[in-house]
Amino acid sequence: MKNSRIMNKQVFKQALMLLKQNRFFSIISIGCTAVTITFVMVVYMVYDLRTTDMAPEMFRSRMIYSGQGYSYRTIDHSNASGGMSEHTAHVLFDSLLGVDLVTYYTSLVKYPCSALSDGADKRRTVRFADATWFKVMKYNFISGRAFGKEEFDAQRKVAVISEQTARELFHTMDAVGRDIQVNFLSYRVVGVVANVSSLFTKAYSEIWLPLSVSSNKVYDDGSNGLRGNYLAILVRSRKSSETEVAKAVDKRVNQLNSSQPDFIFNLDGYRKHTQEMFFQNKEISAPLVFALLIAILLIIPAINISGLMQSQIRHRAAEIGVRKAYGASKWVVLNQLLTENFVLTLIGGMLGLLFSYVALFLSQLWLLGGADIISGSLGLTGRMLLRPSVFVVVLLMCLLFNILSVFVPAWLASRKVITDAIKGE
């Protein structure tokens, strides 16, 4: 054990020497690795930032999103229209087995907003939701609280607003108890939460209002009361699976349709978080697509370095031959070549990680801003970007890349017969 450590140290020293001697090879190898790791890490971070459980979206891995659904006339399939009413939503999703939390909401809207005292109105993002919303999304309350079930049921005009909204409208963070005008209606502020990065496409908003006071409910009577603008998020329990929940919901849809003959309601699918974030399509598996992309991004430059490595090893055939003549095993030679190159890979990898942060920051809007959010800044913070898992992944990617790019030529070299190697054949 101790021996091998001394050995590794020596290998390391030699690697640095080699790096200086073969300056051209080193530059190409490091450049290649840096570009590779930049692309790989950008792809990884886009996936990671969109899908990892991270406050306020703490339950991403267990969330199931309802579609908006659509309904049509049973006899001739005419009058097809999208949307799900409050009643339909409750019938389909209330107290399902294997589901911990159910919350109902509508898609983001923009409304003119102002503090009652001054008339300046700026359009702000508003989310209508029920009281459970604040159990599903773990907001950081700076002051006040979320609105509760009683307030929701009693259709109280209350609001939760973001820190920035509070500061811009009331010039203070402590806006609890003040009145805010949203789309010309007055609401009492009950809570102020820390700003939410628009990276969290579901949790993000500037103002949250009770869905029970939404004026949009007037559309509820279309297609025999099936149509509306409700959406649902289910948080499944740890023990249940998506398919189980999907089956249970399907059963409810069938019950609903058999109870009213004139119209048929079709839920139009439910999606896991990864499906909701990418492609919005059940047929494409986002993890698979991302893994494939990363594999391609790693393998092609690895072929590149393999080729160069082989040319370089040929120059050192004699050295390797001598080592073997003095008793170095195949594995020792292999290990030496892998370790030597890992120094280069690490240098390239660190550069790559740095570049990937720059790239991610510069192109955050088109890489990460989707759905409802397209302008301004996403409000990415260091806490989101510099998580330990990112560094573990970059290290793993470097290791993988190193093995991919050195293994074949090193294996070939280590198998060479000693005399051939020394002769240089």
Partner 1 sequence: MKMILKQLWNQRRANAWLFMELMIVFVLLWFTLDVAWNYLRAGSYPKGYDTENVFDVRIERNPILEKDPAVRSHSKEYLLEIYRRIGEYPGVESVCYYAGSKPYTDNSMFQGYSVEEDTAKVYGAKIRYISSSYLDVFQVKLLEGSRTGWDEQQHPSAAFITASLSDSLFHGKAPLGARFYDYYARKYGSEETTYRLSGILPLTKLDDYARYEDFIYVPLDAHILEYAVPYFAIRVRSDLVSGFPDRFMREMKSRLNMGSFYLSEVHSYDEMKQVYDVEQGTTVYLRLAFSVAVFFVFIVFLGIMGTFWFRTRQRRGEIGLRIAVGSSRFGVMWLLFNEGLILLLLASIPALLIAGNIVYADLTINTLTDFSAGRFLITVLATYLLMLLMLFAGCCYPAYQAMHISPAEALREE
Q: What is the rounded CA–CA span in Å between residue 74 and residue 412? A: 69
Under the binding rule (CB under 8 A), the answer on residue 120 touching partner 1 is no
- Please report how close the Cβ of residue 357 comes to partner 1 at its closest, in angstroms: 16
Instruction: Give whichever of 303 and 386 is closer to partner 1, judged by the CB atom.
Output: 303
Query: Is residue 75 part of the contact set for partner 1 (CB under 8 A)?
Result: no
**Position 399 contacts partner 1 (CB under 8 A):** no
183 binds partner 1 (CB under 8 A): yes
According to DSSP, the residues that pair with 126 across neighbouring strands are: 109, 207
| CB contact at 8 A, 157 and 213 | yes
Residue reference for tokens 């510099």 = 386
321 scored as a contact of partner 1 (CB under 8 A): no
Name the maximum alpha-carbon separation found in the chain: 92
- The count of C-alpha atoms lying within 13 angstroms of the C-alpha of 124, restricted to the half-sphere facing its C-beta, is 27
Q: In this chain, which of 284, 292, 303, 386 binds partner 1, going by CB under 8 A? A: 303
> Which CB atom, from 61 or from 304, has the smaller least distance to partner 1?
304
Q: 132 φ, ψ to 5°? A: -65, -20
Phi, psi of 187 (to 5 degrees): -130, 145
> Residue 386 Cβ, how far from partner 1 at the closest point, in Å?
23
CB 334 within 8 Å of CB 414: yes
Decide if residue 301 touches partner 1 (CB under 8 A): yes
Residue 403 makes contact with partner 1 by CB under 8 A? no
The only residue of 11, 15, 25, 228 in contact with partner 1, by rule CB under 8 A:
25
Q: Does 185 bind partner 1 (CB under 8 A)?
A: yes
Q: Does 266 bind partner 1 (CB under 8 A)?
A: no
In the block, residue with structure tokens 């009058």: 79
What number of chain residues touch partner 1 (CB under 8 A)?
Answer: 41
The two structure tokens encoding residue 279: 């492609």
**Closer residue to partner 1 (CB): 50 or 236:** 50
Please report which residue ranges of 228-285 form alpha helices under DSSP H.
242-259, 273-277
What does the alpha-carbon distance between residue 230 and residue 256 come to, in Å, rounded to a whole number?
A: 16
Helix 2-21 / helix 23-51 crossing angle, nearest 10 deg: 110
Nearer to partner 1, 55 or 299 (CB): 299
CA separation for the pair 72, 263 (Å, rounded): 5
Told to check if 425 binds partner 1 by CB under 8 A, we report no
Question: Which of 132, 198, 275, 312 is in the footprint of partner 1 by CB under 8 A?
Answer: 312
Given 154, 300, 358, 396, the residue binding partner 1 (CB under 8 A): 300
CB nearer to partner 1: pick between 96 and 302: 302
The piece of 85-93, 321-329, 333-341, 362-370 that touches partner 1 (CB under 8 A) is 362-370
Number of other residues whose CB lies within 10 A of the CB of residue 141? 15
Q: Does 35 contact partner 1 by CB under 8 A?
A: yes
Structure token pair of residue 79? 């009058």
Closest CB to partner 1 among residues 88, 214: 214
Helix, coil or strand: residue 187: strand
Among 96, 367, 380, 384, binds partner 1 (CB under 8 A): 367
CB of 79 to partner 1, least distance (A): 7
- Cα angle vertex 326, ends 323, 332, to 5°? 50
Q: How far apart are CA 24 and CA 11, in angstroms?
A: 20
Nearest CB to partner 1, comparing residues 140 and 363: 363
Shortest distance, CB of residue 308 to partner 1, whole angstroms? 4
Is residue 21 a contact residue for partner 1 (CB under 8 A)?
no
Give the phi and the psi of residue 351 in degrees, each rounded to 5: -60, -45
Q: Which amino acid belongs to residue 320? A: I
Name the residues that contact partner 1, by CB under 8 A. Answer: 24-25, 28, 31-32, 35-36, 39, 78-79, 112, 123, 183-185, 215, 279, 293, 296-297, 299-301, 303-304, 306-308, 310-312, 363, 365-367, 369-372, 374-375
